[in-house]
Amino acid sequence: MQIAFSFFALFLACLSSPTDAGDEEFNELQWKLETDVLELRTAVEEAYLSRCDPSTLQSCQRGNFDACDSSFPNPVCPVGEDFSLQVCADGCSSKYDYSVSTVSFPPFPGSRDDPAVLQDICFSRKLDSYFVNKYEADKSFWDKYGIDVPSMHLGMTTGAFRIYPARANETCNAYDPRVRPWYVAGSSGPKNIILLLDTSGSMDGIRLYYLKQAAARIIDTLTVGDRVALVPFSTKAQPEYFDGEALVKVTASMKEELQKRLAALEAIGSTNIHDAFRRAFQVMEDSIPLEKVVDCNTAIIFLTDGKMTDPPDVTEESVLEFVSDGLLELEQRLKHPVYLFTYSVSENDDVHTFPKQLACSATANGIWSKVVDERTIVDSLTSYTNLFSLGLGEGRNDDFTAWVEPYIFSTRGVPGVTVSAPVFDRTVNPPVLIGVVGLDLLVEALDRALGVETGSSKTYDRIVLSSTAKCPRLATSQCHMEAFRSFGISGDDARCGGASNCSTTVDISLAPEVCNNRDDLPSIIVHNTDVEQVSFIERACCTGGSNGFGVVQNDTCIATSLSMEEKSKNIGAIVGSVVGVLVGVSVMAYAVAASCRKAKLERGDSVPVAQAMAVHDEETEVTAVTPPTNPKASAPCVLNAEA
């Protein structure tokens, strides 16, 4: 019902929104990818509903294939350069298994025994039938672009990860999907971020070290759909300007430059909070008329470890009034809320008073937390995405999808792009984030759809436009804001107390609840752990022996292509149960697309791209995407990880 309604909405949209001629095929491809990732999201949400069923948990016993420890039941060696793996012999493809998915455990001690992790892996195991049927249904569609069906994956809030088709991971227990750009983009949407970072003399040493780590992680998780400004402050605030623009688009090259500037920061001088916020407002004031902002969510992230000491003639009361007026004016210009996150690092309670006042009195959209241990700076500063994800579960954001900048797929060493969407438990209010799903597509398919040469800047520009084309809106009530504040390290001390009309029972959750029937959890979750001590090359490369389908290979490498009929013989038992539903969905989707095309042709225009905001990036030239010099180091665990 929900899918059918989405198709109807898309049909109405394509009747009413014009676009440039000649882009119809790209628009249809974009529409299919976004529709498919939302379909995958729905499949995950439906599987999640049975997460506590004893049958779901008990059938998980030896029911999963570990990307590092397991051999696969039906491995194949696909044909084509796109499947080659750099560590294998020349022209050698990597092994895939289209009958199952693989799982990766999160990189923290004890994750393989964590009930929440096991629960996520067990319920998501039910997706294998969806993956297989989707692959079968879409193979002919993607054949015309000369590529395989996009990989489908799910990163969960626990850090567990599942990807289809199955493939081996090179370095294990190191991949965390929650800090990858596709996950953050899918769970928070495009955003403007201003980092106000205290670099006064008292931050010298371990505090500055962790501050840099925290800011570096924030920058790493941002995407080309985001805009950011780095504003360190001490005696004066000194924004890191780039060609006269304070708020910059977070491209891959800009990330590198921001990280260099961040690494060079030194702790010196006094603490001038007034100048920090003055500069923050000036950044936005300069950026708005130049359309260097995204018309989505905006957050100012402020961290200090001391009381205001400079200038001597400015009081905390006057700064509070200045910040309040500045935020109100900024919200009026942006026409959406500006969220203020304040963090104070100190063992001295006196230091926490003013940052909390800023969050509670200067705005209705402020969140404060004290940081009592320098090591928690990283987790504290990156937690701002929790609030943004909280608002994405609402009905008006139901069709939200995110695109990230093209990057090198380490599986294949070629440029690709990920389209992602958030997944929620919608049985609670507000909905709780379960994770993020994604589809990995080779950029060459988009080049072909546009009819341009491989690596064209036109394709890059269209992807960048897609990254800001959908803008989620937060409508979090003050009662929910008050409940959210208590989730930080400070607990109930972080509540502002202004929402007096809120019931004491108002509550929210930032993580799915673990099922009570823990006795039903499997004792051994992984199957075929016979390659645990085998090298990655032996596990991943199509070299020597048999490929599992009776095709004998020589001592170097033979890439073997199997027909769909041959694959179907091996996975037919899984395919039969759901394929009828998928065929029906596909027929409905393409009927809508055909009707749209007909209506457009009759009007003389073409199918629209996803609606873009009033933000126009002027850059037209892009640097060609090049493989990292050390793929293993840059993408240590999962083979489709970003460079």
pLDDT given at position 620 = 25
Domain ranges of the chain: 190-391
Tokens of 10: 């898309």
The string of DSSP codes covering 107-171 is SSTTGGG-HHHHHHHHHHTTHHHHHHHHHHHHHHHHHTTTSPPPEEEEEETTS-EEEESB---SS
Three-state SS string over 17-31 comes to CCCCCCCHHHHHHHH
Please, what is the Cα angle at 361 between 356 and 366, to 5 degrees?
65
Asked if pLDDT for residue 488 goes beyond 80, the answer is: no
- Among all chains, which residue has been given the structure tokens 């230091």? 351
pLDDT on residue 556: 39
pLDDT class for 395, splitting at 50, 70, 90? confident
What average pLDDT does range 142-159 have in this prediction? 93
Express each pLDDT in 87-103 by its tens digit. 777 667 788 999 999 99
CA distances from 109 to 29, 173, 438 (A): 41, 9, 26
φ, ψ (nearest 5 deg) of residue 501: -85, 5
Q: How do beta strands 432-442 and 414-425 pair?
A: antiparallel
Name the residue type at position 575: V
Would you say residue 466 has pLDDT above 70? yes
pLDDT at 361: 92
Check residues 20 and 523 and name the one with the higher pLDDT. Answer: 523
Residue 354 has pLDDT above 70, yes or no: yes
Residue pair 89/543 in contact by the 8 Å Cβ criterion: yes
- In the predicted structure, residue 470 carries a pLDDT above the cut 60: yes
Average pLDDT across the chain, whole number? 78
Residue 598 DSSP SS3 = helix
**pLDDT of amino acid 561:** 36
The yes/no answer on whether domain 190-391 falls in CATH 3.40.50.410 is yes
Check residue 357 and give its pLDDT: 93
Residue 71 sits at φ, ψ, to 5 deg, of: -85, 155
Q: What is the pLDDT of residue 506?
A: 53
What is the predicted pLDDT for the residue at 474?
A: 75
pLDDT digits (tens, 9 = 90+) for 593-624: 334 333 333 333 333 323 222 222 222 222 22
In order of 93, 165, 168, 169, 630, the CA distances from 542 in angstroms are: 6, 16, 12, 15, 22
| 269 phi-psi bin (left φ>0, alpha ψ -120 to 50, beta other) | left
How far is C-alpha 508 from the chain's CA centre?
22
pLDDT band at 372 (very low <50, low <70, confident <90, very high): confident
User: How much is the pLDDT for 101?
Assistant: 97
User: Residue 19: CB partners within 8 Å, gap ≥ 6?
Assistant: 27, 605, 606, 607, 608, 609
Termini Cα distance of the chain: 39
